Amino acid sequence: MQSLNINDAGFSYIFNCMALYSEGGVYFVIYVISLLFVCTIAGRYPALQNKDGTDTRKRDRLIFLPQAVMMLLTVFNPVFPVLLNSIFDVNKEYYRFLWMLPVITLIAYAGVKIVFETSKNTARGLIAAVLLICIFMSAGTCIYENGYAKAENIYKMPAELLQVAQIIHRDSDVEYPRAMFEYDYNMQIRQYDASILLPCTREQYLNAVSGGLDHEKIHAEENYYNRLLAVVALNIRLDKEDFLKGLEETDTEYVVLSSANDMLSHIKSMGLKEVGRTANHIVLHYGLETREEFSLADYSEVWAMGY
């Protein structure tokens, strides 16, 4: 959880963590209700017992209760994350401990018990099942809340991204051209085509778009990719000299922008030439003055030496 820090939040960390984990959903609440249900009520009355008349509570308690208690004493204990974080840095990943709680398993189990053990006939059972499904659906957020986006192709990539890769390779005279992209394409292009190199890593890109770049860092005589990030990702107008130095130092000869990008004309004015376009993207080329051509490391000699 990037937005939460154990050192800052202290003992309230676990509550904040759970709030972020659930985001207003009530699955944890239903889990607790289900736990109480299967451990106390279910099996107590004849209608809620197994068909053979046996009480299911003892077994259910053995299956679900010990882990719930252990989780309460450890993962959900406000002291525990603070203590653990003093040994290992678990800030980003503490929420994964919540995965250990069988929330879905227990709720589904309790739901089936309700349907089968309390409903005497099929119609009532069906109604109970539908009602429960409605409860589950309203207990959280649907994955397709904002609509179902069907993949454009079998690669599950934007069709234009594939065209952009083609344009770059058609234009480039090297096997491994380096290109600067806007955020989405930067994260996707190498999934499709690993022969296109990028000037910056995912973390460097994320750092830039989350406000990690200032004037000093952008103009520093190191980490020249920051200049490309400033222009392409942050829409900061750099001097021609500064931007081109960024391209030269990172060996970047292509810049791919969406046609709606405000920096398009500014970048073109710095001497980059359009070499192709798709419906919504434009591929710009910069002729590097000096290029350190990328080639794959040759390990054959190392192997011959017996390593």
Instruction: List the interface residues with other proteins, window 84-123 (CB under 8 A).
Output: 88, 90, 93, 95-100, 102-105, 107-109, 111-112, 115-116
Q: Give me the phi and psi of 52, to 5 degrees please.
A: -85, 5
294 forms part of the interface with other proteins (CB under 8 A)? yes
Instruction: List the interface residues with other proteins, window 154-173 (CB under 8 A).
Output: 154-157
> How big is the site for other proteins, counted in residues (CB under 8 A)?
85
41 forms part of the interface with other proteins (CB under 8 A)? no
279 forms part of the interface with other proteins (CB under 8 A)? no
74 forms part of the interface with other proteins (CB under 8 A)? yes
Distance CA 248, CA 270 (A): 13
129 forms part of the interface with other proteins (CB under 8 A)? yes
276 forms part of the interface with other proteins (CB under 8 A)? no
Helix (H, G, I), strand (E, B) or coil at 282: strand
150 or 215: whose CB is closer to other proteins? 150
Distance CA 194, CA 237 (A): 30
Instruction: List the interface residues with other proteins, window 202-241 (CB under 8 A).
Output: 202-203, 206
Encoded tokens for 245: 């130095």
Helix (H, G, I), strand (E, B) or coil at 52: coil
193 forms part of the interface with other proteins (CB under 8 A)? yes
32 forms part of the interface with other proteins (CB under 8 A)? no
Stretch of residues binding other proteins (CB under 8 A), selected from 197-205, 210-218, 240-248, 259-267: 197-205
Distance CA 168, CA 171 (A): 5
27 forms part of the interface with other proteins (CB under 8 A)? yes
Q: 254 vs 77, 142, 152, 179, CA distance in Å?
A: 52, 39, 25, 4
Q: Which of 164, 140, 18 is nearest to 81 (CA)?
A: 18
Residue in 53, 120, 150, 279 binding other proteins, rule: CB under 8 A = 150
Pairing of strands 281-285, 254-258: antiparallel
Instruction: List the interface residues with other proteins, window 234-273 (CB under 8 A).
Output: none
The set of residues, in sequence order, having a beta carbon less than 8 Å from that of 227 and lying 6+ positions away, is 218, 219, 238, 242, 243, 245, 246
Q: Which of 245, 248, 249, 243 is nearest to 229 (CA)?
A: 243
82 or 271: whose CB is closer to other proteins? 82
159 or 220: whose CB is closer to other proteins? 159
Question: Closest approach of Cβ 278 to other proteins, in Å?
Answer: 17
101 or 283: whose CB is closer to other proteins? 101
Question: Closest approach of Cβ 21 to other proteins, in Å?
Answer: 5
Distance CA 248, CA 242 (A): 10
